[in-house]
Structure 1
């Protein structure tokens, strides 16, 4: 997956993982990764939107909810818990992409 605007620093390329976060709330959220040296990652995630991104395995995704003037840090998720893998790649923390579709289709 290419990072057009903000590529990962070169020292992290061997430990990057593909992750997925879904905003299951009715509010706009801001997703940030702040614990990676020399890298800035921040995205707006609309209600029901799925955010697919690559990040170092050790990073944390911070979820900020609310208005920009008064947003609160509502969650801090280790990125290794957001790993997306194919059906032939089992991982103890991973949710297969096909299961994500089933899970959110019922909501």
Structure 2
């Protein structure tokens, strides 16, 4: 998957996985990966939005939920639980078949 912003460091190329997170709440969330050296990943996820991204297999997606001036770390999900299932020829922006573990993220 081509990265326009903040590509993964080159030393992680072998450990990259395609992931999907769905914001099933009614609040705006901020998704952030902080445990990867030399890489910054942070995205706003609106209610009902699906976020598809690549991350190292050992990454953790932090979900911050809150109001205007404050946010709370509401979840920390291993990226392995957000893996998108599909063949090698599957297009990364097609509607993914997500693993059953994604239901964890949707709760």
Fold match (TM-score > 0.5) = yes
Does 2:34 correspond to 1:50? no
By percentage of residues, which structure has more strand?
2
Is the contact made by 2:83 and 2:99 (CA closer than 8 Å) also made in structure 1? no
Residue of structure 2 in register with 1:92 after alignment: none
Give every structure 1 segment of 4 or more consecutive aligned residues whose post-TM-superposition deviation is greater than 3 Å: none
**1:60-100: per-residue Cα shift (whole Å, max 9, x none)?**
00000012421000000000000001179xxxxxxx61788
Aligned residues: 94
Residue 23 of structure 1 is matched in structure 2 by: 23
Residue aligned with 1:62, SS: strand
Residues 15, 56 of structure 2: 8 Å contact kept:
yes
Q: Tell me the TM-score normalized by structure 2.
A: 0.81
Q: 1 or 2 for the larger relative contact order (CA 8 Å, sep ≥6)?
A: 2
Superposed CA RMSD in Å reads: 2.1
Q: Secondary structure at the match of 1:51?
A: strand
Q: Provide the residue aligned with 2:64 in structure 1.
A: 64
Gaps of 5+ in 1: 89-95
Question: 2:4 matched to which residue of 1?
Answer: 4
- Structure possessing the higher radius of gyration over alpha carbons: 1
More helix by share: 1
Unpaired stretches in structure 2, ≥5 consecutive residues: 89-95
Q: Which residue of 2 aligns with 1:80?
A: 80
